[in-house]
Structure 1
């Protein structure tokens, strides 16, 4: 899993940064290469979260085991 995440992040930077570099060469500017790298990192992070998921639900629960019961309206039990 670690290599998959690393590869996704690096390839996102390379692909979008390369596309930005090509646009910079075509338009004779210097702005699209850094924008492409930032966009590539953002898209890669999104892909990693969608592919591998977020944190485990068990790890997201507070320690101590039992959670408090859900709140009900006044008068109900």
Structure 2
């Protein structure tokens, strides 16, 4: 259950969402010296299961579909 608590320090920026845009914004702003808080409502991601684009091409399940045929 979500809880509301007081933050012990103020932040310069509040970023809603830690996707590609939110993560990039947080990186740039913190590198610029700002205090940033990021809020995310999505579920936690497991890199072992959730990031399928980081597979080697030969590990992809659809590799070779539609390719091939008879040799001449």
Q: TM-score range by the shorter chain?
A: under 0.3
Which structure's residues are more often strand, by fraction? 2
Q: TM (normalized to structure 2)?
A: 0.28
Which structure's residues are more often helix, by fraction? 1
Q: TM (normalized to structure 1)?
A: 0.26
